[in-house]
Amino acid sequence: VEFSYPPLKPGEGHNSQSLPEEWKYLPFLALPDGAHNYQEDTVFFHLPPRSGDRTTVYGVSCYRQIEAKALKVRQADITRETVQKSVCVLSQLPLYGLLQAKLQLITHAYFEEKDFSKISILKELYDHMNNSLSSTSLEGSQVYLGLSPRDLVLHFRHKVLILFKLILLEKKVLFYISPVNRLVGALMTVLSLFPGMIEHGLTDCSQYRPRKSISEDAGLQEHTSQLNDYANVSAADISNANSVTQKGDRKMAGNHALEGQKANVPVCQSEKTCNGAQSSNDTVQRLKVPSRASPASSESDWETLDPSVLEESNLKGESENTASEQAENIPSKGMSTESLPITVQPQANTGHTVLIPGLVSGLEEDQYGMPLAIFTKGYLCLPYMALQQHHLLSDVTVRGFVAGATNILFRQQKHLSDAIVEIEDAHVQIHDPELRKILNPTTADLRFADYLVKHVTENRDDVFLDGTGWEGGDEWIRAQFSAYLHALLAAVLQPDNEKILSDYGTAFVAAWKNTHNYRVWNSNKHPALAEVNSSHPFQGQYSVSDVKLRLSHSVQNSERGKKIGNVMVSTSRNVVQTGKAVGQSVGGAFTSAKSAVSSWFSTFTQSTQSLGD
């Protein structure tokens, strides 16, 4: 890190190259592995919170490279023919697409200066972002800028629902593709299908420690009610001799050719405090951090979490750490949970969603309990993983992950994940046969997925109508998944619900009920779900069209089906290309055969006559 504004470490200068221990992987995330293969790229990544603060730090990095001879001012440390730099923003708000749009413009302008010592533009970016962004930015559609479920459905088709269910089951899911912008775009778009997940469901998704143990300073673990600064700016720099040597360097242990490497990265942190947050009486509304610690920050083992723990002793124990006004809502030692259930009251429809801090999840929840507490208690979301973070995949404190990687070493070690999603081929590789069986879509699920695909593909060839309508658009697709999840939650609450749940998959529902996110959701009461239709959106009698749909799905997704399909396509192509020649060849062969048979028959007849004579 060659420059950061404000400094990454309070009390140090903007040019300090030292990093906080929690953020030691920052240069490898901001300037990704294999970056030399692309002229420019964009990275979304998550950093763990610093000094006891439990809020994820959201990073967006824009990378570019330029020939050293094009620079107007060539500094002494630029000794190679190519210079690679990343300009990075670290934010307290998950506004990935919005930050990317602003950052790409600034990065382009920064490179156009052809003088990397002119860092005033980075300071201006920091001030501009803090003046223009606030927690209210999470309420509109701009939080989804650049995330297109429409493109996701066009590419993955019926498999989108399998990805959705994989994450509901909190499995270890690895996304793979290059370059990084395609990787992080697809991964975050899948997460955007979960109601409220991008806005409020990722605050606890990067609770991990670097490989070296971090010494804890009790003096740094102070919690504050508000965050002062949202964004921080910096730039990353690495100069290469050429692509060949860079490639060679990176094959060795996957490092960023550490010789001559520097990275400038901006950070969301106040200079006045040691933990990146401070109290503020600013008139601008800020995103408040829940005042209680989440279950992930407690020392209790996640494996012991069961409904009884959540409903009784766990809540009683956690009440000691909550604010006094929250403690009133938690059953006391002498009361049973039945007499005082945790209830999330339905809110009046005032045009915007009312969020309440979840007493168990620690997330900002709506009246239906959304977002689900998937990315909590050791389940990580890492849109991009550097090779230096590889150990996290087998870390005993990490119970699961949704992670993205561009390095083939991640993909080759299949034993570390439950599923590998190869984005290029839209292939979801699930290793465990039992898990494949659990995720095998039901007839109702196939109808739902087919409904999405048909609406998305309907007008895509019309240049004027493509993507402009409500049906088949991005917001429409998110609304369908929201309705699907709400119906599933409502169905779980119904008595004698076996038949209803069979439409979602009996085995799937049974597996989902064993997950952390279900147990947290089920520990609260959500009366608003009483108004939701508990039936599967596409329940109904089995028909001939369902048989066709099932056959089509089987052919598309089974290895044998793919091989048969490829052979049929290949055969058709060959017949079309060589039809005339084939016809002539067949005709000639038939004539030859006819002559041979005639000759044989004549000989046979003559022999018979001779025998008769």
Are the C-beta atoms of 160 and 452 separated by less than 8 Å? Answer: yes
Of 64-73, 294-303, 386-395, 527-536, the one with minimum mean pLDDT is: 294-303
**Cα–Cα distance list, 155 to 32, 167, 371, 405, 480 (Å):** 25, 19, 26, 19, 18
Rounded distance between C-alpha atoms, residue 515 and residue 512, angstroms: 5
Domain-embedded: residue 246: no
Domain boundary among 91, 115, 136: 136
- Confidence check: pLDDT of 245 > 70: no
Domain-embedded: residue 215: no
Residue 72's pLDDT band, with cuts at 50, 70 and 90, is: confident
Per the model's pLDDT, the better-predicted residue between 36 and 176 turns out to be 176
Domain boundary among 109, 136, 163: 136
Residue 467's pLDDT band, with cuts at 50, 70 and 90, is: low
Same-domain check for residues 49 and 165: no
Q: Region 422-440: what's the mean pLDDT?
A: 95
What residues contact residue 398 under an 8 Å CB cut-off, 6+ apart? 208, 378, 379, 380, 392
Domain boundary among 83, 117, 136: 136
**pLDDT tens-digit readout, 197-232:** 999 999 999 988 777 644 433 333 333 333 344 556
Same-domain check for residues 119 and 195: no
Domain-embedded: residue 296: no
- Confidence check: pLDDT of 452 > 80: yes
Same-domain check for residues 390 and 362: yes
Q: Residue 170: what pLDDT?
A: 96
pLDDT, mean over the chain: 74
Residue 37's pLDDT band, with cuts at 50, 70 and 90, is: confident
Same-domain check for residues 114 and 163: no
Q: Region 596-605: what's the mean pLDDT?
A: 54
Same-domain check for residues 421 and 497: yes
Q: Residue 319: what pLDDT?
A: 41
- For the chain, the domain total comes to 2
**pLDDT tens-digit readout, 284-325:** 333 333 444 444 433 334 444 444 444 444 444 444 443 334
Domain-embedded: residue 526: yes
Q: Name which of 362, 394, 393, 358 is nearest 377 in CA terms.
A: 362
**pLDDT tens-digit readout, 468-484:** 567 888 999 999 999 99
Same-domain check for residues 389 and 515: yes
In angstroms and rounded to an integer, the radius of gyration of the C-alpha atoms of the chain is 30
Angle 401-404-409 from CA coordinates, rounded to 5°: 100
Q: Name which of 60, 29, 21, 8 is nearest 389 in CA terms.
A: 29
CATH assignment at residue 428: 3.40.50.11500
Same-domain check for residues 151 and 131: no
**pLDDT tens-digit readout, 537-567:** 876 555 545 465 556 556 555 555 555 555 5
Q: Rounded to 5 degrees, what are φ and ψ at 429? A: -100, 110
Q: Residue 301: what pLDDT?
A: 41
Are the C-beta atoms of 135 and 199 separated by less than 8 Å? Answer: no
Q: Name which of 177, 278, 180 is nearest 229 in CA terms.
A: 278
Q: Region 450-478: what's the mean pLDDT?
A: 77
- Confidence check: pLDDT of 280 > 50: no
Same-domain check for residues 375 and 417: yes
Q: Residue 142: what pLDDT?
A: 87
Exposure string of 81-116, with b = 16+ CB inside 10 Å and e = fewer, is ebbbbbbbbbbbbbbbbbbbebbbebbeebbeeeeb
Same-domain check for residues 368 and 395: yes
Same-domain check for residues 379 and 512: yes
- Confidence check: pLDDT of 270 > 50: no
Bridge partners for 60 per DSSP: 44, 89
Looking at mean pLDDT, say which of 71-80, 510-519, 595-604 comes out highest.
Answer: 510-519
Write the DSSP symbol of residue 72: S
Domain-embedded: residue 204: yes
Residue 464's pLDDT band, with cuts at 50, 70 and 90, is: low
Domain-embedded: residue 331: no
Q: Residue 472: what pLDDT?
A: 82
Residue 603's pLDDT band, with cuts at 50, 70 and 90, is: low
- Strands annotated E in 241-374: 261-262, 356-357, 364-365
Taking the alpha carbons at both ends of the chain, their separation in whole angstroms is: 109
Does the reported pTM lie above 0.75? Answer: no
- Confidence check: pLDDT of 419 > 90: yes
Same-domain check for residues 481 and 552: yes
Structural domain range at position 186: 147-209+353-459+470-559
Same-domain check for residues 130 and 155: no
**pLDDT tens-digit readout, 182-200:** 999 999 999 999 999 999 9
Q: Residue 373: what pLDDT?
A: 94
**pLDDT tens-digit readout, 356-365:** 777 777 788 8
Q: Residue 545: what pLDDT?
A: 55
